[in-house]
Amino acid sequence: MEVQLLPQSLALPISPTSSRPSSPRRRASLKTAFHRRHAHARRVPRTLVAKCSVFEDEQSGDLKDVLSGMVGARVEELLSREENRGLLDGLERASRRVDQARRELAEIERQEVEAR
């Protein structure tokens, strides 16, 4: 069996069997220093409740309704912009073509059923 020795810089320090500080005074000073540095870890988290409303007279705190109103207002704003008008017109034309294709497909399926 071959034993390899590590260079001094790579060797791990050997710690005593007990990792406790040797005296109660030293233990207390370490504890205080830790708590001073990590004071934020002791704090109790605060609960924050935020209420918002699209309408000032609305008293509902229902998040779903609030978000729905905000999204609806934003969509209306985007649709009313002139630069988006062309996109909206193209979408309406495509929707009409899809509806027409569905009607034609339903008619073809009906004719196939009658032919059997």
Domain boundaries, given as residue ranges, for the chain: 63-115
Residue 50 has pLDDT above 90, yes or no: no
**What pLDDT sits at residue 97?**
97
The structure's pTM equals 0.34
What lies within 8 Å, CB to CB, of 98 at 6+ separation is none
What lies within 8 Å, CB to CB, of 40 at 6+ separation is none
How big, in percent rounded to 5, are the helix, strand and coil portions of the chain?
Answer: 60, 0, 40
Q: In which band, very low, low, confident or very high, does the pLDDT at 112 lie, cut at 50, 70 and 90?
A: very high
**What pLDDT sits at residue 52?**
60
Q: In which band, very low, low, confident or very high, does the pLDDT at 111 lie, cut at 50, 70 and 90?
A: very high
